Amino acid sequence: MGLLTDLKDSISRAASTLFSGEDPKRIGIYGPPNAGKTTLANRIARDWTGDAVGPESHIPHETRRARRKENVEIERDGKKVTIDIVDTPGVTTKVDYTEFLEHDMEKDDAVRRSREATEGVAEAMHWLREDVDGVIYVLDSTEDPFTQVNTMLIGIIESQDLPVLILANKIDLEESSVQRIRNAFPQHETTPLSALEGDNMDELYDKIAEYFG
Amino acid sequence: MAEAKHPEDEDGVQIDLISAERMSDKTTMEKIRLILDGVREGKIVILEAGLTPDEESRLIEVTMTEISPDEFNGIEIETYPKSQADDSSLLGRLMGREETKKLTVIGPANQIETLHKDETLISALVSRK
Ligand SMILES: Nc1nc2c(ncn2[C@@H]2O[C@H](COP(=O)(O)OP(=O)(O)O)[C@@H](O)[C@H]2O)c(=O)[nH]1
Ligand SMILES: [Mg+2]
């Protein structure tokens, strides 16, 4: 093997540097279930490419497979940042299919959904170690950020030396507290946002360009 | 490991406190197996020295692949929050010693419930199966 593949690789690498300047950075959107990751991924994709990434839902684990939107070009002050957005399933250490039964689901569907969810989380964890260049960590600012999963995930991201942007989402809701998130992760900058209403997206795009450009 | 009495025929919950020394010469996968085998038998596993971030990440991944309906729902894991004052982590990592000296409690998700947690105290409710 090797020679031909190597040659092909180096040609395609050369071509991609030629045409797009730089390879897109792969940005993983992580965070607990229901934080608004898919809503955010869809908004970013719609703002810059015109179409969406995947369905949003109030039922946890709607996103069981990571979904990717490639070559999203974000322009900031004449500078262009190209990213691949990877919307991941919410990370958790447990999945109980019976919780889905509360959302009017048949047992078969609930079991299938939980199986897909566990596979998706495993995959997302694997990627975090192997395959992402930066992380957008989305938190629901109406919820307590001091959870074990958040602490562990931020620790894992830090240990990989990945650039991370922490987002305090759902600031349109009355119970939202951005400060609580700032207190939980003072070593990082927190950007407030409503992915649903589109509030403060400009600041987010500035930060994306700054962190991942 | 010396075979302790099996918890299943007992009317109680078994707790294994594992010393840092016992874990120190194990590989990541050996540690994960030790933890998950215990937890899947319904034990509460307490580690004197916790896991590295990389080991935690693999523990989550392996846990996910083992979850199965009506049998194993996953784990509950608690450690004290990382002290925010500590900014030695980069230096620590460069010198090859990660901050893992944190007591870590791991149990079956359907049997352990964290009641309260802050920088200095973890309070959990453990129930029988
Ligand atoms: N009020 C409010 N709701 C939001 C916001 N972002 C997401 N949501 C809602 O939160 C729920 C979960 O969103 P989703 O994007 O599927 O979360 P994911 O599990 O993190 O991907 C959905 O009902 C969304 O409409 C927000 O900024 N404000
Ligand atoms: Mg989602």
Domains of chain A with CATH codes: 26-212 (3.40.50.300)
Answer yes or no: is pLDDT of B127 > 90: no
- HEC sequence for A49-78: HCCCCCCCCCCCCCCCCCEEEEEEEEEECC
Report the distance separating Cα A82 and Cα A22, nearest Å.
8
Report the distance separating Cα B61 and Cα A144, nearest Å.
24
Question: Which of residues 145 through 184 in chain A touch B, CB cutoff 8 A?
Answer: 146, 148, 151-152, 155-156, 158-160
Q: Which two tokens stand for residue A7?
A: 């040659």
Higher per-residue pLDDT: A14 or B78: B78
Report the distance separating Cα A201 and Cα A193, nearest Å.
7
- In this predicted model, what pLDDT tens digit does every residue of A79-129 receive, in sequence order? 889 999 999 988 999 999 998 888 888 999 999 989 999 999 999 999 999
Q: According to the model, what pLDDT value does residue B84 have?
A: 46
Distance A173 CA to ligand 1 centre (A): 11
Mean residue pLDDT of chain B comes to 82
∠ CA A5-A8-A10, nearest 5°, is 105
The complex's ipTM works out to 0.83
**Pairing mode, if any, of strands A190-192 and A164-169?**
parallel
**Domain locations in chain B as residue ranges:** 12-126
Q: Which residues pair with B85 in a beta bridge?
A: none
Mean residue pLDDT of chain A comes to 88
Q: Which of A109, A135, A152 is the best residue to mutate to test the B interface, defined by the most B CB atoms within 10 Å of its own CB?
A: A152
**Whose atoms come closest to the Cα of A120: which ligand?**
2
Q: According to the model, what pLDDT value does residue A1 have?
A: 46
Q: According to the model, what pLDDT value does residue B109 have?
A: 94
Candidates A86, A195, A95; CA nearest to A140 is A195
Any idea which of A30-39, A184-193, B1-10 has the lowest mean pLDDT? B1-10
Please spell the DSSP secondary structure of B27-68, one letter per residue. -HHHHHHHHHHHHHTT-EEEESS---HHHHHHHHHHHHHH-B
At B65, phi and psi to the nearest 5? Answer: -70, -15
Q: Mean pLDDT over residues B73-98, rounded?
A: 63
Task: State the burial class of residue B50 (Cβ atoms within 10 Å of its Cβ: 0-12, 13-18, 19+).
Answer: buried
Answer yes or no: is pLDDT of B66 > 50: yes
How much of chain B exceeds pLDDT 90, in percent?
Answer: 51
Q: Which two tokens stand for residue A22?
A: 């730089």
Report the distance separating Cα A193 and Cα A208, nearest Å.
13
Q: According to the model, what pLDDT value does residue A36 have?
A: 96
Ligand 1 atom having least distance to the Cα of A60: 19
Q: Mean pLDDT over residues A200-213, rounded?
A: 93
Q: Which two tokens stand for residue A71?
A: 């070559």
Residue with tokens 């690789």: A9
pLDDT band, very low/low/confident/very high, at B85 (cuts 50, 70, 90): very low
Candidates A124, A202, A137; CA nearest to A163 is A137
| pTM for the structure as a whole | 0.85
Q: Mean pLDDT over residues A131-153, rounded?
A: 94
**Max mean pLDDT range (A49-58, A188-197, B82-91):** A188-197
Pick A94's closest partner by Cβ from B75, B78, B114. Answer: B75
Answer yes or no: is pLDDT of A58 > 90: no
Answer yes or no: is pLDDT of A172 > 80: yes
Q: According to the model, what pLDDT value does residue B123 have?
A: 87
Report the distance separating Cα B129 and Cα B41, nearest Å.
10
Do B32 and B89 contact (CB within 8 A), yes or no?
no
Q: According to the model, what pLDDT value does residue B94 have?
A: 52
Report the distance separating Cα B123 and Cα A76, nearest Å.
48
- In this predicted model, what pLDDT tens digit does every residue of B9-60 receive, in sequence order? 567 889 999 999 999 999 999 999 999 999 999 999 999 998 999 999 999 9
Render the burial of A51-87: b for 16+ CB within 10 Å, e for the rest.
Answer: ebbbebeeebbbbbebbebeebebeeeeeebbbbbbb
Q: Mean pLDDT over residues B59-69, rounded?
A: 96
Any idea which of A72-76, B38-42, B78-82, B90-94 has the lowest mean pLDDT? B90-94
Q: According to the model, what pLDDT value does residue B12 have?
A: 86
Answer yes or no: is pLDDT of B8 > 90: no
Q: Which fold has domain B12-126?
A: 3.30.950
Answer yes or no: is pLDDT of A15 > 80: no
Pocket of ligand 1, candidates A29, A30, A37, A39: which has the most ligand atoms within 8 Å of its Cβ, to mutate? A39
Instruction: Say what the alpha-carbon torsion angle B102, B53, B21, B88 is, to the nearest 10 degrees.
Output: -60
Contacts of B63 in chain A (CB under 8 A): 93-94
SS3 B127: coil
Candidates B85, B78, B80; CA nearest to B101 is B80
Q: Is the dihedral of CA A75, A78, A79, A80 positive or negative?
A: positive
